Amino acid sequence: MTPVANQTNIYEINKWLYFLTLCVATLTLLVVKKNLVENEIMAFEILEERGQMGFFHLISTLQYASIPLIYLYKFTVVAFLLWIGSFMFGYKVSFSATWHVAAVSESIFLVAEFLKICWFIFFGSEATIFDIRAFYPFSLMNLFDRSVLDTKWIYPLKSLNIFEVIYWFLLVHGINYMAKKKRSVAYFIVFSFYVFFFFIWLGYYVLIYK
């Protein structure tokens, strides 16, 4: 396959500018979810009557502040796996480039978060906090009854969703764009390193969950 030449130049955007934009977009969606979904459920109304909302406001503030740290950690781990994979297959892709690919690919999860917010605004009038935290659009979680499911399976089943699969292919596209070589090798890099360790992590999570 010929090198990618005239495709999107999103990878040419300054990675820190993109990172900042991603953080702002994520913060915006989180604020909207907190105010239009979570704060509207009955559990919060009861807690407010009891004067216990301060605790949840503190948790929300910590969530807002942790967005850049979580992204920095995730992008660094993903970038390292992609960089090692590229190196193993003789692709001269810098760590900075793989970090940029990880940041750009992350954008697909904003779509998932937006759909989740819309779902609970229009169809979640009877939802509980547990329902909100256990739900993820187009995930395996939606095939099971959450009320009888062991809680250790919630995170893995949420993680196995259509957006995660799209994320894998975005990583492939990014590596292919940066290396400008065979796409088949980019597939092998992503699936042999990132996807493989992704499933290892889910398995480890299930084993250690108590």
Q: Where are the beta strands (DSSP E) in the chain?
A: none
pTM equals 0.88
Tell whether the model's pLDDT for residue 141 goes beyond 90: yes
**Of 112, 170, 166, 169, nearest in space to 142 by CA:** 112
Residue 1 lies in a domain: no
Q: Look up the domain containing 145 and give its range.
A: 10-208
Residue 5 lies in a domain: no
Residue with the bigger pLDDT between 24 and 127: it is: 24
Residue 86 lies in a domain: yes
Which single residue is written with the structure tokens 């992704």?
198
Please give the average per-residue pLDDT across 105-134, as a whole number: 88
Residue 140 lies in a domain: yes
Number of domains in the chain: 1
**Number of neighbouring beta carbons within 10 Å of residue 134:** 20
What's residue 2's pLDDT? 42
Tell whether the model's pLDDT for residue 135 goes beyond 70: yes
